[in-house]
Amino acid sequence: MSKHEIRLRRQKFGARGSDRFRNYSEVLQRHEREVRLRKIIRVFTFLFIIMIVVMLIVIVVRVEKRMDKKSSQIESINSSRS
């Protein structure tokens, strides 16, 4: 066997591969925390996007109502002048 093959066999992650990490439990806990943090960030991002969309819809509806009121006032003024 060449040096390269021996090194690859030594680095192979097998049933006892976790022995390579002396602090495997700490590495596993850190990974779980990172995964949890990613999920939390994803949820808050989606909530933020949904909140922005709802706010935009509310703004558009209010602007449309104002425009309708103005147009109806203008029409009533124009009809009274005629």
Record the tokens describing residue 9, joined without a space.
Answer: 């066999």
The residue with greater pLDDT, 55 or 24, is 55
CB neighbour list of residue 11: distance below 8 Å, 6 or more residues apart? 20
pLDDT digits (tens, 9 = 90+) for 25-74: 888 899 999 999 999 999 999 999 999 999 999 999 999 998 888 777 77
For the chain, how long is the longest CA-to-CA vector?
Answer: 104
55 touches 61 (CB < 8 A)? no
Q: Give the global pTM.
A: 0.57
Report which residue type is found at 25.
S
Domain of residue 66 covers 3-81
Separation between Cα atoms, residue 5 and residue 14, nearest integer Å = 16
- Count up the domains in the chain and report the number: 1
